[in-house]
């Protein structure tokens, strides 16, 4: 319990309106996220992934249960700014989170909202641009960036607030392979610097790189395991309207026929090595 | 091989030509599509895929004559003739919300047939047929508000709207982007059935190469407005290093095959699906 | 559909990099001069003042190397309406004053010297306005423009109005104009792809065209609302609560003598034109 960055206790959330019956989005979720963790949240469309994410930075507040970020309760309005400085969020559609007309201006938006002195704002902007590799792009108009770079810009904008955790809500869904690779390599660098990262994603290969896979189904948390275990049972995931990475699927099938091949490979290179080793033996 | 329904040769297109902001979207592109084919058009974002697609259905017209022929019509000609192309070549855009503009589902799907000047009975028949093709029940959906539909339902209605024209060719511009695994599988399955059972010609534009195996026969790769690679699906998707150099990721099975051959195990052909890989590897290890 | 593409690309982002006199002017000077000249153009009603104004505008346009046809191209879509309105103005100017020369009269229709003048002056005003705005957008980037407007709105903070928020709104609106133009283009293309004919062929097709154009407006509005909602969430996630923003006070250097002289000079010129105009007319 202690040392957890984010503590979610019995979180339930429903959004009802006067002319609609209560629609329950989240049911009794309890979860701890620790500093430096790298986890992914999977779930079919409508399972509540994005809703859960928005509770982490007080964009939404629980209907029941509570969410503590660095010890602060998200329902406490006086702590909202502190919470949002601690947990940053990057969204799916690159254009719809960029405010500034040039890169530098957009990254400065966050620190300016905190009312910091100009010199401090500049310092943070510089540092954030360095962390994502956009230093030379500081004067570039934002509409000229590729989608991948726009997402880097969004990340920089959050980093300028100095968060301990970054939540990515399907942030790579609309990117091509190159854009995705760029974003992932920046995330790896951020992890090295101790940032906790939570990736909400449909891309199974991305989930496979994380340390912890959490699966939501109809608003409930149904799985919380490392990827090797989470992906070990294809049927279970298919019932949850998900799937496993193709590499893992192949590894499992090969394992049935050639037992010396491990069934829990998550990456192409790992499985390739297993197969070559098996070839060497035969 | 029948005459291609779409024939493009040496197409070059520059936006805002003559202004300081001119951007060359396509350079000297050759492309053809024959009926009953299924072709994948891939490339990184900004490669010119959507631009090419819009030449294929007459939305964009070339400056020079004889460069783009669609359904026998030289699209550099007057726009009156070009309008008939829309009935034969359907184009589905990425976002369903960009394509729905009527209040009711039935009206939206009926838009295309009505523009064709069909009778009320014919229009109704088309709407019924189109909705059934996308797996939506006519009676429960025809009077629903388009803007109250779920994402998946909107996507199906948008597809139905284009299908209702009964086109010979269906062009899908990044229609799988942002879909969850189930949605993606369902869409690809639908497309596969339309192609294989109903003989619908497909042009699938995507940045995700793993959409293509089992669906398309041929792949064309665009990069910076030029054709960088083309060939059969197996040939193109098997070239992991070339694809990587173009900023694309080959499907996982193709990447695996590439790793294996670097380690000394050559498979007879590049597997594109998990089943193909399973069979090929087992054979290789236990001959 | 090349016209659609042109609409999107040639809308607000018309900035043409260069090093002309006008480029080098401080953006506030540009805005103030624009304001003075537009005021003069609006108030003046005599041939002489408009000859002077028009020559000034055309001279400035030429010196900026902005092709005149770009200015004229922006009028093209509105030509039928302009022709219609001008005809109305010509024929139904109202009862002629005693000093007026009547060239033709039949019932309520009359063509007088003053009606001719009002038509000519209106057309001249239109040209002046267009060339001035084209000049401004060619010589100032979006970023500069939004900074300039922010500077003008700043005094509002002192009287309790949300000047800072308004300039933020303006910046964002500017930024999203090309995005919405692209969205409109996509919507139009989707309609055309399903057989909708949006081209204006034939004089009386505008009824059908208007109906089809209206069909685009609803989805465009919905798209704009969805985007603004997403953007608002993203801004909230970056601690934007309204009110406590730090000022970007370092963007503008102090006024140079040249800038001051130019602003005052243009203001005086406009004043002279207005005064002269009043004298000529009465």
Distance between CA atoms of residues B185 and B192, nearest Å: 10
Q: Higher model confidence: residue B35 or residue B77?
A: B35
Q: Which residues are registered as beta bridge partners of A214? A: A41, A224
In eight-state DSSP terms, residue B187 is H
Distance (Å) from the alpha carbon of A157 to chain B's nearest alpha carbon: 23
The stretch C51-78 carries a mean pLDDT of 77
CB B252 to CB A176 under 8 A? no
Chains touching chain B at 3 or more Cβ pairs under 8 angstroms?
A, C
The stretch B5-18 carries a mean pLDDT of 87
| Residue B29 zone, left/alpha/beta (φ > 0; ψ -120 to 50; rest) | beta
The stretch C80-87 carries a mean pLDDT of 83
The stretch A4-28 carries a mean pLDDT of 84
Distance between CA atoms of residues A100 and C235, nearest Å: 11
Q: Is the predicted pLDDT of residue C11 greater than 80, yes or no?
A: no
Reported as a single tens digit per residue, the pLDDT across A17-68 is 655 657 889 999 999 999 999 999 999 888 999 999 999 999 999 999 999 9
Instruction: Please give the interface size between A and B, counted as residue pairs whose CB atoms are below 8 Å apart.
Output: 98
Question: Residue C258's pLDDT band (boundaries 50, 70, 90)?
Answer: confident
Question: Residue C200's pLDDT band (boundaries 50, 70, 90)?
Answer: very low
CB C16 to CB B20 under 8 A? yes
CB C143 to CB A96 under 8 A? no
Q: How far apart are the first and last CA of chain B?
A: 38
- Which range is most confident: B62-76, C48-62, C220-234? C220-234
CB A59 to CB C250 under 8 A? no
The stretch B8-28 carries a mean pLDDT of 84
Q: Higher model confidence: residue C26 or residue B9?
A: B9
Q: Higher model confidence: residue C174 or residue A190?
A: A190
Q: How far apart are the first and last CA of chain A?
A: 50
Q: What percent of the residues of chain A are helix, what percent strand, and what percent coil, each to the nearest 5?
A: 45, 25, 30
Q: Which two tokens stand for residue B28?
A: 């000297």
Query: Does C17 contact chain B (CB < 8 Å)?
Result: yes
Residue A168, pLDDT score: 97
Residue B148, pLDDT score: 85
CB C194 to CB B115 under 8 A? yes
Q: Higher model confidence: residue B182 or residue B28?
A: B28
Distance (Å) from the alpha carbon of A190 to chain B's nearest alpha carbon: 23
CB C175 to CB A98 under 8 A? yes
CA distances from B283 to A257, A275, B275, C163, C271 (A): 11, 12, 12, 73, 92
Q: Does residue A151 contact residue A168 with C-beta atoms inside 8 Å?
A: no
Distance between CA atoms of residues C143 and C252, nearest Å: 12
Distance between CA atoms of residues A74 and A26, nearest Å: 16
Instruction: Please give the interface size between A and C, counted as residue pairs whose CB atoms are below 8 Å apart.
Output: 92
Task: Compute φ and ψ for C14, nearest 5 degrees.
Answer: -95, 10
The stretch A193-209 carries a mean pLDDT of 94
Read out DSSP for B23-84? EEEEEEEEEEE-TT-EEEEE-STTSSHHHHHHHHTTSS--SSTTSEEETTEETTS-HHHHTT
Distance between CA atoms of residues B125 and B96, nearest Å: 23
Question: Residue C243's pLDDT band (boundaries 50, 70, 90)?
Answer: low
Question: Residue C12's pLDDT band (boundaries 50, 70, 90)?
Answer: very low
Q: Does residue B209 contact residue B45 with C-beta atoms inside 8 Å?
A: no
Q: Is the predicted pLDDT of residue A147 greater than 80, yes or no?
A: yes
CB A279 to CB B178 under 8 A? no
Q: Does residue A39 contact residue A210 with C-beta atoms inside 8 Å?
A: yes
> Which residue of B18, B55, B101, B117 to mutate against C (max C Cβ within 10 Å)?
B101
Q: Higher model confidence: residue C189 or residue C62?
A: C189
Residue A144, pLDDT score: 86
Q: Which two tokens stand for residue B209?
A: 């190469």
Chains touching chain A at 3 or more Cβ pairs under 8 angstroms?
B, C
Question: Residue B102's pLDDT band (boundaries 50, 70, 90)?
Answer: confident
- The residues spanned by each domain of chain C are 18-141+254-281
Reported as a single tens digit per residue, the pLDDT across A99-118 is 988 899 999 999 988 888 88
The per-residue pLDDT of chain C, averaged, comes to 78
Q: Is the predicted pLDDT of residue A229 greater than 80, yes or no?
A: yes
Distance between CA atoms of residues A51 and A40, nearest Å: 15
Distance between CA atoms of residues B62 and C199, nearest Å: 18
B-chain CB neighbours of A93 within 8 Å are none
Query: Does C208 contact chain B (CB < 8 Å)?
Result: no
A-chain CB neighbours of B248 within 8 Å are 176-178
Residue A1, pLDDT score: 46
Task: Compute φ and ψ for B67, nearest 5 degrees.
Answer: -90, -35
Residue of chain B whose Cα is closest to the Cα of C212:
B101
Domain A6-97+163-242: give its CATH architecture.
Answer: 3-Layer(aba) Sandwich (3.40)
CB neighbour burial string for B143-155, b if at least 16 within 10 angstroms, e if fewer: ebebeebebbbbb
The alpha-helical segments, DSSP class H, found in chain C are 2-9, 21-24, 27-43, 47-63, 68-73, 79-91, 113-139, 142-153, 155-158, 163-193, 206-237, 257-281
The per-residue pLDDT of chain A, averaged, comes to 92
From the list B275, B276, B258, B254, the residue with the least C-alpha distance to B266 is: B258
Q: Nearest by CB to A121, from C13, C141, C246: name it.
A: C246
CB C175 to CB A91 under 8 A? no
Q: Does residue A118 contact residue C256 with C-beta atoms inside 8 Å?
A: no
Reported as a single tens digit per residue, the pLDDT across B155-173 is 999 999 999 999 999 999 9
Instruction: Please give the interface size between B and C, counted as residue pairs whose CB atoms are below 8 Å apart.
Output: 74
Share of chain C above pLDDT 90, in %: 6
CB B285 to CB A279 under 8 A? yes
Question: Residue B78's pLDDT band (boundaries 50, 70, 90)?
Answer: confident
- The residues spanned by each domain of chain A are 6-97+163-242, 245-282
Look up the pTM and report it: 0.85
Distance (Å) from the alpha carbon of C198 to chain A's nearest alpha carbon: 28
Q: Nearest by CB to C172, from A91, A99, A157: name it.
A: A99
A-chain CB neighbours of B206 within 8 Å are none
């Amino acid at each position: 319990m202690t040392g957890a960055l984010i503590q979610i206790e019995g979180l339930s959330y429903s959004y009802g309106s006067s002319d609609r019956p209560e629609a329950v989005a989240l049911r009794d979720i309890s979860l701890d996220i620790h500093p430096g963790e790298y986890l992914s949240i999977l779930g079919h469309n409508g399972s509540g992934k994005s809703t859960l994410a928005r509770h982490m930075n007080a964009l939404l507040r629980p209907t029941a249960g509570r969410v503590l970020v660095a010890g602060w309760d998200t329902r406490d309005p006086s702590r909202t700014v502190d919470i949002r400085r601690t947990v940053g969020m990057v969204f799916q559609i690159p254009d719809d989170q960029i405010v500034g007309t040039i890169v530098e201006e957009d990254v400065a938006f966050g620190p300016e909202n905190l009312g910091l002195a100009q010199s401090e704002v500049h310092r943070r902007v510089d540092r954030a641009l360095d962390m994502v590799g956009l230093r030379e792009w500081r004067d570039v108009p934002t509409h000229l960036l590729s989608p991948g770079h726009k997402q880097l810009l969004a990340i920089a904008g959050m980093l300028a607030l100095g968060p301990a955790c970054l939540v990515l809500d399907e942030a790579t869904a609309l990117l091509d392979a190159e854009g995705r690779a760029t974003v992932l390599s920046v995330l790896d660098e951020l992890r090295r610097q101790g940032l906790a990262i939570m990736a909400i994603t449909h891309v199974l290969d991305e989930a496979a790189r994380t340390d912890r896979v959490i699966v939501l189904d109809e608003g409930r948390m149904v799985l919380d395991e490392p990827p090797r275990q989470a992906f070990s049972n294809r049927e279970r995931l298919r019932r949850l309207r998900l799937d496993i990475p193709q590499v893992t699927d192949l590894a499992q099938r090969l394992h049935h026929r050639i037992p010396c091949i491990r069934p829990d490979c998550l990456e192409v290179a790992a499985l390739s090595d297993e197969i070559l080793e098996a070839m060497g033996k035969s | 091989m029948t005459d291609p329904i779409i024939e493009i040769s040496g197409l070059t297109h520059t936006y805002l030509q003559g202004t300081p902001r001119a951007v060359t979207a396509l350079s000297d592109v050759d492309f053809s599509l024959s009926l009953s084919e299924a072709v994948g058009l891939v490339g990184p974002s900004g490669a010119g895929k959507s631009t090419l697609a819009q030449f294929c259905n007459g939305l964009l017209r070339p400056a020079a004559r004889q460069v783009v022929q669609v359904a026998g019509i030289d699209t550099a000609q007057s726009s009156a003739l070009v309008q008939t192309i829309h009935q034969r070549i359907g184009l589905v855009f990425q976002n369903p919300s960009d394509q729905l503009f009527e209040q009711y589902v039935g009206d939206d799907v009926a838009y295309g047939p009505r523009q064709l000047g069909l009778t009320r009975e014919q229009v109704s028949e088309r709407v019924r047929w189109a909705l059934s093709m996308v797996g939506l029940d006519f009676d429960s959906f025809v009077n629903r508000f388009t803007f109250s539909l779920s994402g998946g339902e909107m996507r199906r209605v948008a597809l139905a709207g284009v299908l209702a024209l009964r086109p010979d060719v269906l062009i899908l511009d990044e229609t799988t982007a942002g879909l969850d695994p189930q949605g993606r599988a369902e869409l690809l399955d639908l497309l596969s059935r339309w192609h294989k059972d109903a003989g619908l010609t497909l042009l699938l534009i995507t940045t995700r190469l793993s959409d293509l195996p089992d669906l398309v026969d041929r792949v064309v790769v665009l990069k910076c407005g030029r054709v960088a690679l083309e060939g059969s699906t197996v040939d193109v998707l098997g070239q992991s290093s070339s694809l990587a150099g173009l900023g694309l990721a080959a499907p996982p099975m193709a990447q695996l095959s590439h790793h294996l051959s670097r380690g000394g195990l050559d498979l007879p052909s590049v597997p594109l699906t998990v089943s193909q890989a399973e069979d090929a590897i087992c054979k290789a290890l236990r001959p | 559909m090349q016209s659609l593409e042109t609409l999107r690309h040639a809308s607000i982002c018309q900035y043409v990099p260069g090093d002309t006199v006008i480029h080098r002017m401080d953006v506030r000077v540009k805005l103030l001069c624009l304001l003075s000249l537009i005021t003069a153009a609006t108030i003046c009603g005599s041939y002489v003042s408009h000859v002077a104004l028009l020559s000034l505008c055309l001279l400035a346009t030429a010196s900026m190397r902005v092709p005149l046809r770009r200015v004229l191209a922006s009028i093209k879509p509105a030509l039928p309406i302009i022709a219609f309105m001008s005809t109305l103005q010509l024929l139904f100017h109202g009862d002629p004053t005693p000093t007026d020369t009547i060239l033709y009269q039949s019932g309520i229709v009359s063509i007088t010297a003053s009606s001719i003048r009002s038509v000519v002056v209106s057309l001249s005003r239109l040209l002046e306005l267009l060339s001035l705005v084209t000049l401004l957008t060619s010589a100032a980037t979006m970023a500069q423009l939004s900074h300039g407007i922010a500077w003008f709105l700043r005094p509002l903070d002192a009287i309790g109005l949300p000047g800072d928020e308004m300039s933020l709104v303006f910046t964002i609106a500017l930024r999203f104009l090309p995005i919405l133009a692209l969205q409109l283009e996509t919507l139009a293309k989707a309609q055309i792809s399903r057989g909708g004919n949006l081209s204006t062929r034939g004089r009386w097709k505008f009824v059908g065209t208007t109906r089809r154009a209206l069909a685009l407006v609803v989805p465009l509005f919905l798209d704009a609302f969805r985007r603004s909602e997403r953007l608002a969430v993203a801004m909230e996630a970056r601690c934007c609560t309204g009110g406590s923003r730090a000022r970007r006070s370092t963007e503008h250097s102090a006024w140079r003598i040249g800038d001051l002289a130019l602003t005052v000079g243009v203001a005086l010129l406009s004043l002279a034109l207005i005064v002269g105009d009043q004298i000529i007319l009465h």
